[in-house]
Chain A
Amino acid sequence: MPQSAPAEAASYADRPDEWLVERCREAGGENAFAELVRRYRGPVFRLAVSILGQEFAPDAEDVTQDVMLRVHHALGTFRGEAKFGTWIYRITFNQALNVKARVRYRAPHVSDQALAALPTPDRDPYDRLQNARRQQAVLACVEELPEVYQSALRLHYWLGTSVGEIAVLLDAPENTVKSYLHRARRLLHARLAERGFDER
């Protein structure tokens, strides 16, 4: 006896990705694709945000949607040689980089007045401005790092993602992610020193 649509959709929650992909290829595989979207929309969005950065975070939702549509279109070519997650994160990484290259020119200039008006714990306006400038410099230096370092830093420090999940998103072992973070901090330290910021 055929299952009702909600019961069928609920039964998909426990199924592995590969089974869902097979089901998507069949006629009426909409519930299987819905489960894949539900499963991967959050990680794909976080990965896209981590690559696009703060200024272009609103574009991350478009990237996530494009990735889901591309995946749906390309499911027929997915051979299962890599895990489905690895495949979708690779598509996301490339798609986000393409979008970033396209929208980079939109990055706004932040004036000193705007920096001084940022809410910080410092009472003295000079300290507040210095602090804001330092934070702005940190974010600007992050932008100069290799993409994979930028992504790891934003995932860890901004989005609060665990090292284990970053490893999955970036398709790298956990120790490599720890090494990315360590090297990124060292590079940032050097870049900030070049700009005349002493973080002590």
Chain B
Amino acid sequence: MNDDELMDQLLRDAMPAEVPQLSAGFDARVLRRVRPRRLTPAGRVVIAVYIVIAAAATLWLMRDLQVTWIVAAVAIGTPVAAAASVYGRRLAAGR
């Protein structure tokens, strides 16, 4: 036996006998992660009701404010809400 054959045998002996396997249900887990998440009809109703109530409450609370304050609030609040939405989606997608 030459050195190469001896190393070959030594490597065969040294490597673990157990070969790891992917767990069952791997495909289902991956596909669940990539599937686009859609709101159920009930979820859509809840979101719509929330938007209407939030808009009404905001208008009522801001009724005595000057227009400049309202513009400032919208200018600050809109980008913050958009950024939070994008961040939330990325978080949910695991990226």
Residues of A within 8 A of B (CB): 30, 33-34, 37-38, 41-42, 45, 49, 54, 57-58, 60-61, 64-65, 68-69, 72-73, 134-135, 138-139, 153-154, 157-160, 182, 185-186, 188-189, 199-200
Contacts and interface: CB of A to CB of B under 8 A. Distances in A.
Nearest to A68: B30
Contacts of A58: 20
Interface stretch (B2-10, B47-55, B60-68, B74-82): B2-10
B22 A45 contact: yes
28 contacts: A33-B34, A34-B31, A41-B26, A41-B30, A57-B20, A58-B20, A60-B20, A61-B22, A61-B23, A64-B22, A65-B30, A68-B34, A69-B33, A69-B34, A69-B94, A73-B93, A135-B14, A139-B14, A154-B15, A157-B12, A158-B19, A182-B4, A185-B7, A185-B8, A188-B7, A188-B11, A189-B3, A199-B7
B26 A65 contact: yes
A52 to B, nearest CB: 10
Contacts of B35: 30
Using C-beta atoms within 8 Å of the partner chain, give the interface range for chain B: 20 to 34
Interface of B: 3-4, 6-8, 10-16, 19-20, 22-23, 26-27, 29-31, 33-35, 93-95
Contacts of B3: 185-186, 189
B6 A65 contact: no
A40 to B, nearest CB: 11
A160 B19 contact: yes
Contact of B22 (A42, A153, A189): A42
Contacts of B13: 135
A70 B10 CA distance: 38
Contacts of B27: 34, 37-38, 41
A12 B76 CA distance: 49
Contacts of A186: 3-4, 7
A54 B16 contact: yes
Contacts of A45: 20, 22
Contact of B11 (A41, A57, A65, A185): A185
A54 B11 CA distance: 14
A138 B6 CA distance: 12
A64 B26 contact: yes
A182 B33 CA distance: 42
A138 B20 contact: no
Contacts of A61: 22-23, 26
